[in-house]
Structure 1
């Protein structure tokens, strides 16, 4: 790829700053999912330290401002602490103002356009955030998603995503897919978009003893990537996933 730029990309399900170090914590520390107590501030600062090394970051389960986060928009906080000039978020689910969840995008480059879409499914509360960088044929589309647990809902969500990314020549789709890469419903992305199946997958869940690769960064076959890796995200129940990406030189330039 001539006249290319290099980006470091990371995707992380941060579990709203809550700590899970084993299955027992889902019960023993269930209060942390509804109350602004514990060491969430420390964990957010640890996550911000991790993000500082990256150019574009996708977030799942970032609280947009409810009781459990002390009414703090965690995406905004991480953008400020990580030194990101540009950030966007997409609140998807709110439980009576006690706990809320959002997709987030942090970037050191200014997007030309941001679009947000609720995803279809049997239970509302999943979303797709799409950012477009640059213009014309070399524009870069970056999308963040968080899919459902059920295969039927995931299938309809992936069909929706494929429809919205189908025309993007250079695209990145990242997030918590809640499924491994070779699930039948995933084929819609590879058949209907320029996204390509990854040459390898990394295990991301559960973070304390990874057994399944359910967090992914998918890229178009027009792009190049290397150094796919997983790393702790401050005691979230997911590991973060990252890669080094090569994109067209004009993909991030302002028109």
Structure 2
């Protein structure tokens, strides 16, 4: 291939979703009138089954506010459950905030590609319980790094957390940042992230919150300059108070080939280092 020819590329279908531990909110007043549902498993498995029905079209699914097994989920690991029911061969999760036996929030990743490395990083903040899940596919300079994060509500804490994520991205030119970042694409803290990394400002920022009347774009799929987001869209409200956000990501074929190199096994948990 001559240097004037475009590089061969491949595609990944990617989804990111804050699943609210399988709960579903359809209007603001339900935060109060249905508050009991936040601590009991009522209806949550059926909601997850509905979500699992749309996941097979995706290669990577990033989850935020998945329950790792507590009272509110019926002691069900929701990341594992979705992996098994949607036919994903690999899954991993990062439990972040446990409140007695009532809740166990976590980030999660479902994958059709076998990760070569999984790391858990707690994020800085005055209140503990936020983290970023760091996953590598392939090896060396052609590896793809995927970060799954759920950031704080406070501006100052969020800025510190994005500064930390900036450090995690260093030396990784092919990367995706997926998650509920709790801030708009125009915010100073995200503008600073774009200035300090090769993550690119997306052409569009679909509105994701609240799910019943979307008015804010706070869930994001961000890619470095070597990758290309071909489509970026939201999916219908099935679960949570956020809309899922989906993208088709174009990437150098060398990344994709390495990531697919290993044999898959049914719903295999990939543990963090």
The answer to whether TM tops 0.5 is: yes
Match of 1:7 among 4, 12, 30: 12
Q: Distance in 2 between matches of 1:187 and 1:75?
A: 31
Q: Distance in 1 between matches of 2:97 and 2:236?
A: 25
Structure 1 residue 164, shift from structure 2 partner: 0.5
Q: Distance in 2 between matches of 1:68 and 1:245?
A: 34
1:172 maps to 2:176: yes
Q: Distance in 1 between matches of 2:104 and 2:238?
A: 19
CA contact (8 A) 1:17 1:40 kept: yes
Q: Runs (4+) of structure 1 moved beyond 2 Å?
A: none
1:27 maps to 2:32: yes
User: How many equivalent residue pairs?
Assistant: 254
**SS of residue matched to 2:167:** helix
My pick for the range that moved more, 224-233 or 149-158, is 224-233
**SS of residue matched to 1:143:** strand
**SS of residue matched to 2:57:** coil
Deviations 1:230-250 (A, max 9, x none): 013413100000010111112
Match of 2:3 in 1: none
Q: Distance in 2 between matches of 1:8 and 1:225?
A: 10
Cα distance change of structure 1 residues 250 and 233 upon mapping to structure 2, 3 Å threshold: farther
Deviations 1:113-151 (A, max 9, x none): 001101001111111001111112221111100000000
**What TM-score does the superposition give when structure 2 sets the normalisation length?**
0.91
CA contact (8 A) 2:212 2:237 kept: no
Q: Alignment RMSD, CA only?
A: 1.1
Unaligned runs of 5+ in 1: none
**What TM-score does the superposition give when structure 1 sets the normalisation length?**
0.97
Match of 2:200 in 1: 196
Structure 1 residue 2, shift from structure 2 partner: 2.1
Match of 1:146 in 2: 150
CA contact (8 A) 2:200 2:223 kept: yes
Structure 1 residue 167, shift from structure 2 partner: 1.5
Match of 2:271 in 1: none
Match of 2:140 in 1: 136
1:70 maps to 2:74: yes
Q: Distance in 2 between matches of 1:241 and 1:136?
A: 29
Deviations 1:16-41 (A, max 9, x none): 1111000011011111111122x111
Q: Distance in 2 between matches of 1:235 and 1:44?
A: 7
CA contact (8 A) 2:146 2:176 kept: yes
Q: Distance in 2 between matches of 1:217 and 1:242?
A: 8
CA contact (8 A) 1:19 1:234 kept: yes
Unaligned runs of 5+ in 2: 1-5, 263-273
**SS of residue matched to 1:35:** coil
Match of 1:84 in 2: 88
Q: Distance in 1 between matches of 2:75 and 2:144?
A: 33
